[in-house]
């Protein structure tokens, strides 16, 4: 498994990361253990979780499964999502006290003395970014955090974080990016390339649409996210399914499948440090690891752009 540096930081991570949002929500501890073991077997050393996932169970499960192997893995987690989900919609999770408290709780659940990458899950609308960065710098100086990152930040918020003199800069940005959601390529991706910020795409498979499991004119299927969760139904629009069909035909002409294209295309982007892909089974982990190996040529990337033209728009 290829390793890449996270932006201009010293932290190196596997080009395919394991998104741990299913842990404690869709799968239990035993299934989590099987998925993590499979990830380690294929060379994945980067595990991305959050205090929000599984109502803190994701961190707890991951900490238990990785105990005793801490030196060989890189753990990223996020704060703020849990507070936001509990009614703090107006912010507050970016305050110093809230950050320090959240960090201690995550460290305990993860059974570790330090977090490799600590990320603010959502921008805090009520707390000055200077206070947030100061608290994160405090954690970094204490050795409890190695690098800091942000998630779901707009270009304006990212630029504002750079304007805080004497404060550390975010090493990474984790936002949605896939063949069906390409708005970030307009300004955010070039900004990250200019300032040495590693991009960590989430939802790289558009909640399964870019695996080929959904078809136009067919039900999504009982038990799937698109069928059961309104927040994910947006991925299954006729527009997205039509684009996915054309992308699948393109991949098959070259001896690949749609999954290979979705992950390989993202890994071919210079700004991408690691593609964050979730899994609920060892089979999915192995398929993702195989898929990440397709490095697209310039002409192939041009053809993909033609097929997905218009994907920069919103759903």
Enumerate the active-site residues: 53
Q: Are 55 and 29 in contact (CB under 8 A)?
A: no
Measured CA to CA, the distance from residue 27 to residue 280 in angstroms comes to 7
Phi and psi at 5, nearest 5°, equal -80, 140
Instruction: List the alpha helices (DSSP H) in the chain.
Output: 29-41, 57-66, 81-85, 96-110, 129-142, 155-162, 188-195, 225-228, 230-233, 238-253, 258-267, 282-291, 298-307
How many residues belong to the chain?
315
62, two tokens: 């991951």
β-bridge partners, 291: none
- Alpha carbon 177 to chain centroid distance? 9
Residue-wise DSSP of 226-264: HHH-HHHHGGG-HHHHHHHHHHHHHHHHTT--HHHHHHH
Q: Report the distance separating Cα 202 and Cα 181, nearest Å.
A: 11
CA atoms of 69 and 312, how far apart (whole Å): 41
Cα–Cα distance between 242 and 236 in angstroms, integer? 10
Question: Burial, 242: exposed, middle or buried (Cβ in 10 Å; 0-12, 13-18, 19+)?
Answer: exposed
């Amino acid at each position: 498994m290829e390793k890449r540096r996270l932006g201009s930081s010293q932290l190196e991570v596997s080009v395919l990361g394991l998104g741990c949002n299913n842990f404690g929500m869709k799968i239990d501890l035993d299934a989590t253990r099987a998925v993590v073991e499979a990830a380690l077997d294929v060379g994945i050393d980067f595990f991305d979780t959050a205090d929000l996932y599984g109502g803190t169970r994701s961190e707890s499960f991951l900490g238990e499964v990785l105990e005793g192997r801490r030196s060989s893995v890189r753990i990223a987690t996020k704060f703020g999502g849990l507070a936001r989900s509990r009614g703090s919609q107006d912010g507050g999770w970016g305050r110093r006290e809230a950050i320090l408290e959240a960090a201690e709780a995550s460290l305990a659940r993860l059974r570790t003395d330090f977090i490799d990458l600590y990320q603010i899950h959502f921008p805090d609308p009520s707390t000055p970014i200077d206070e947030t960065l100061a608290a994160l710098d405090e954690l970094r100086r204490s050795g409890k955090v190695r690098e800091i990152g942000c998630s779901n930040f707009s270009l304006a918020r990212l630029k504002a974080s750079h304007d805080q003199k004497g404060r550390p800069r975010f090493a990474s940005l984790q936002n949605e990016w896939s063949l069906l959601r390409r708005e970030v390529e307009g300004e955010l991706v070039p900004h990250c390339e200019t300032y040495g910020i590693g991009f960590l795409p989430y939802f790289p498979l558009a909640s399964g649409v870019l695996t080929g499991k959904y078809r136009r004119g067919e039900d999504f299927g009982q038990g799937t996210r698109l069928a059961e969760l309104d927040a994910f139904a947006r991925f299954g629009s006729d527009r997205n399914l039509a684009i996915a069909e054309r992308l699948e035909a393109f991949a098959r002409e070259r001896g690949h499948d749609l999954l290979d294209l979705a992950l390989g295309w993202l890994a071919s982007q210079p700004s991408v440090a690691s593609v964050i892909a979730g899994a609920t089974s060892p089979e999915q982990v192995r398929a993702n690891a195989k898929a990440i190996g397709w490095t697209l040529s310039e002409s192939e990337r041009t053809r993909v752009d033609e097929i997905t033209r218009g994907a920069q728009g919103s759903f």
